[in-house]
Structure 1
Amino acid sequence: MAQTVQFHSADKTLRFSNKTRLKQFINSLFTLEKKSLSSIHYIFCSDEYLLQMNKDFLQHDYYTDIITFGLSGKGEPIEGEVYVSLDRIKDNATQHATTIERETLRVIFHGALHLCGYKDKKKEDITLMRRKEDYYINRYLKG
């Protein structure tokens, strides 16, 4: 059976201990959210790479830490691509006085939660998204 969670490098490589465990945990996140996962591809990249994607696909001219593309139709098992700027993660970790590991988990889980249907445009949606991120980060770190 093909891996449902895959990590790829565009122009940066994720340095993270025990990637296999992290992939298994991402699978369990979808199970806990009662969502069927077909596949999710995380593509790790630089600020410049993601800025170009933001311009090309979303017509946004600013840096972001993550762009998530849902590729499955309604009612189908979830399929998606999640582009993650490792440069932004590093800067955000410093800015928010947290570890790079914790910020990496936040962004990775954020992308998965978007594919599960969570939004982050309105204040109440952002609050729920942060609660979910924290829940999964703490659950993962407790191991």
Structure 2
Amino acid sequence: MSAQISFESTNDFSLQHPVVYKNWIEKVAVFHDKEIGDILYIFCDDSYLLEINQQYLNHNTYTDIITFDDSQANLLFAEIYISTQRVQENASHFSCDFEEELKRVMIHGILHCIGFKDSTEEEKATMRAEEERMMKLFHVEH
């Protein structure tokens, strides 16, 4: 099956090197014995993601990511919404650059589809450790 990873934007954000990101996401899936079905990333601003959070999850809070996971067995399907405003704010808060925080958030959504959770403190620690491990698989060829 051919991987269908797509990137769209509702704001002025444009993902640089989308093929590199696609290859990385595919590597992460394979690493976890999964295959990519259809994965759609939608980059947006805070207000757009807040509206989704309110409408579908009944949460009235800002967030950096919402993942609608429709994976089946070992085949990953998802719509992943990411607020680039929130990613920028978190990057400043965590003293890292935007691209590093963006990669962390992007792979966070995929890890949810793979089966990782982050409801408890223990799950959050496991998720963060796996994010770090999977970020090491990201390589930009120059």
TM over 0.5: yes
Where does the alignment leave 5 or more consecutive residues of structure 2 unmatched? none
RMSD (Å) for aligned C-alpha atoms: 1.7
CA contact (8 A) 2:67 2:81 kept: yes
Q: Which residue of structure 1 lines up, in the alignment, with residue 32 of structure 2?
A: 33
Where does the alignment leave 5 or more consecutive residues of structure 1 unmatched? none
**What is the one-letter code of the residue matched to 1:11?**
N
**What is the one-letter code of the residue matched to 1:14?**
S
CA contact (8 A) 1:118 1:125 kept: yes
Please give the alpha-carbon distance, in whole angstroms, between the structure 2 residues aligned to 1:119 and 1:19.
26
Please give the alpha-carbon distance, in whole angstroms, between the structure 1 residues aligned to 2:101 and 2:65.
12
Q: Which moved more, 1:133-142 or 1:49-58?
A: 133-142
Q: What SS is found at the alignment partner of 2:136?
A: helix
**What is the one-letter code of the residue matched to 1:78?**
L
CA contact (8 A) 1:41 1:81 kept: yes
Report % sequence identity: 33
Q: Which residue of structure 2 lines up, in the alignment, with residue 7 of structure 1?
A: 7
Q: Which residue of structure 2 lines up, in the alignment, with residue 61 of structure 1?
A: 60
The two structures have a TM-score, normalised by structure 2, of: 0.91
Q: Which residue of structure 2 lines up, in the alignment, with residue 125 of structure 1?
A: 123
**Within the alignment, does 1:20 sit opposite 2:19 as a pair?**
yes
Pick one of 105, 110, 113 that aligns with 1:112: 110
**What is the one-letter code of the residue matched to 1:98?**
C
Please give the alpha-carbon distance, in whole angstroms, between the structure 1 residues aligned to 2:97 and 2:139.
12
Q: How many residues align?
A: 141
The two structures have a TM-score, normalised by structure 1, of: 0.91
CA contact (8 A) 1:4 1:27 kept: no
Q: Which residue of structure 1 lines up, in the alignment, with residue 98 of structure 2?
A: 100
CA contact (8 A) 1:65 1:84 kept: yes
Q: What SS is found at the alignment partner of 1:80?
A: strand
